[in-house]
C-alpha cells in the first residue's frame, strides 16, 4: 500500500501551517525573506539611516542629503530534517491517516528548534538595553521588570507598534499572581491558540518554552518590536519514498532557516533569576 495521491507541495504547506501555529519567536520577526531561504544563501537586508532634521526659516533654503542605507546579511545557515516510515500493515489497521498527523507533529518540532535558535540572539542586545541579572522572587517584581524592559525600548526610541515580551512558564506563573497584570490578562483560549498571556503598557506578553536558560536558574526574558529580528525559513523538500527492503512508505523533509538581530537596540533583556 503506497501513499496514494501524494503531493509534496500540499504536505509542505501542512508542515509550515503546523510550524506557524506552534512558533512564538519566529512569529514576532520580520519574515519578508521567506522565498530566499535556501541553505547556504545570504539575504541582504537594507536598513535606512535617519534623515537629518534641520531648522528652517521663511527665507531659508534646503540642503538635500543622500538617503543612506546599510546592508546586513541574513545567512541561511540552519538546517533540520525529519524522516519516518509507515508499514503497510500498520497503515491498513490505523483508524486515521497517520501521515498527516506525523507531519503536523514534525512541523511543531521544527518550530521549537527554530524558536530556540531565534531566542538565542539575546546575546547581541545593546549594552544600554541589558537590565542585568535580577532575582525575581515575587509577582510584584515580575511585573515591575516587564515594565522596566518596556522602558528600555522607550529610551531607545523603539517603535511603539507591535511590541512584545516573551516569558517562560515560571515567569508567567508569577505574572498571573499580580493584580495589575491580571487586569489585562488574556483568556485561556487566547493562550492556547497564540501563546498570548496578556498586555503590559501596550506590549503583548507571550509564553514560550523556548526562552533561553542562561546559567543556573537565570532565564533570558526578552522584549522587542517587529523589526528588531529578521527570520527566513522554508520547507525545502517534503517527499515520499517507497522503501525497497520492506513493505513500507517513508516520508522525509528538510527545513532551512536563518535569523538576524537587525537592530540590537530594538530588543531589551532581563536576566531573570529564580533565586
Helix (H/G/I), strand (E/B), else coil: 117: helix
**CB-CB neighbours of 109 under 10 Å:** 16
* Residue 105, pLDDT above cutoff 50: yes
Q: Does 18 share its domain with 148? A: no
Q: Which of the residue ranges 19-28, 198-207, 224-233 would you say has the lowest mean pLDDT?
A: 19-28
Taking the C-alpha atoms of residue 247 and residue 81, their distance in angstroms, rounded to an integer, is 23
For the chain, percent of residues with pLDDT exceeding 90: 49
Q: Does 154 share its domain with 220? A: yes
Taking the C-alpha atoms of residue 186 and residue 182, their distance in angstroms, rounded to an integer, is 8
- Interval 129-167: pLDDT, tens: 999 999 999 999 999 999 999 999 999 999 999 999 999
Q: Does 100 share its domain with 219? A: no
Q: Are 220 and 212 in contact (CB under 8 A)?
A: yes
* Residue 202, pLDDT above cutoff 80: yes
Please state the pTM of the whole predicted model: 0.83
Number of structural domains in the chain: 2
Residue 56 in any domain: the answer is no
Residue 2 in any domain: the answer is no
Residue 177 in any domain: the answer is yes
Q: Are 252 and 67 in contact (CB under 8 A)?
A: no
Q: Does 224 share its domain with 237? A: no
Q: Does 268 share its domain with 164? A: yes
Q: Does 37 share its domain with 169? A: no
Q: Does 255 share its domain with 269? A: no
Q: Does 255 share its domain with 203? A: no
Residue 60 in any domain: the answer is no
The CATH number covering residue 167 comes to: 3.30.2320.10
Per the DSSP assignment, residues forming a β-bridge with 47 are 70
DSSP class of residue 245 equals: S
The confidence score (pLDDT) of residue 74 equals 85
The confidence score (pLDDT) of residue 133 equals 98
Residue 59 in any domain: the answer is no
Taking the C-alpha atoms of residue 32 and residue 230, their distance in angstroms, rounded to an integer, is 8
The confidence score (pLDDT) of residue 217 equals 96
The runs of H, that is alpha helices, within 132-243 are 139-155, 169-175, 179-182, 188-194
Q: Which domain holds residue 176?
A: 127-228+264-273
Residue 64 in any domain: the answer is no
Amino acid at each position: 500500500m503506497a501513499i496514494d495521491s501524494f503531493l509534496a507541495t500540499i504536505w509542505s504547506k501542512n508542515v509550515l501551517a503546523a510550524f506557524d501555529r506552534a512558533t512564538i519567536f519566529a512569529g514576532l520577526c520580520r519574515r519578508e525573506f521567506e522565498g530566499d531561504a535556501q541553505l547556504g544563501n545570504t539575504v541582504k537586508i537594507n536598513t535606512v539611516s535617519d534623515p537629518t532634521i534641520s531648522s528652517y526659516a521663511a527665507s531659508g533654503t534646503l540642503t538635500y542629503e543622500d538617503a543612506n542605507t546599510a546592508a546586513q546579511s541574513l545567512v541561511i545557515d540552519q538546517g533540520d530534517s525529519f524522516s519516518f516510515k509507515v508499514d503497510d500493515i500498520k497503515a491498513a489497521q490505523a483508524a486515521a491517516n497517520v501521515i498527516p498527523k506525523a507531519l503536523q507533529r514534525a512541523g511543531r518540532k521544527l518550530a521549537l528548534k527554530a524558536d530556540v535558535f531565534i531566542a538565542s540572539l539575546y546575546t547581541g542586545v545593546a549594552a544600554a538595553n541589558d537590565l542585568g541579572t535580577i532575582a525575581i522572587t515575587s509577582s510584584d517584581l515580575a511585573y515591575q521588570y516587564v515594565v522596566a524592559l518596556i522602558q528600555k525600548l522607550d529610551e531607545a526610541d523603539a517603535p511603539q507598534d507591535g511590541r512584545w515580551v516573551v516569558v517562560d512558564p515560571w515567569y508567567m506563573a508569577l505574572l498571573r499572581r499580580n493584580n495589575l497584570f491580571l487586569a489585562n490578562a488574556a483568556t485561556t483560549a487566547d493562550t492556547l491558540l497564540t501563546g498570548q498571556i496578556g498586555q503590559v503598557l501596550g506590549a503583548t506578553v507571550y509564553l514560550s518554552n523556548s526562552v533561553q536558560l542562561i546559567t543556573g536558574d537565570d532565564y533570558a526574558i526578552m522584549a522587542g518590536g517587529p523589526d528588531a529580528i529578521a527570520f527566513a525559513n522554508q520547507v525545502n523538500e517534503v517527499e515520499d519514498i517507497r522503501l525497497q527492503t520492506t513493505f513500507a512508505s517513508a516520508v522525509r523533509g528538510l527545513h532551512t532557516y536563518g535569523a538576524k538581530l537587525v537592530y540590537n537596540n530594538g530588543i531589551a533583556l532581563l536576566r531573570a533569576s529564580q533565586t
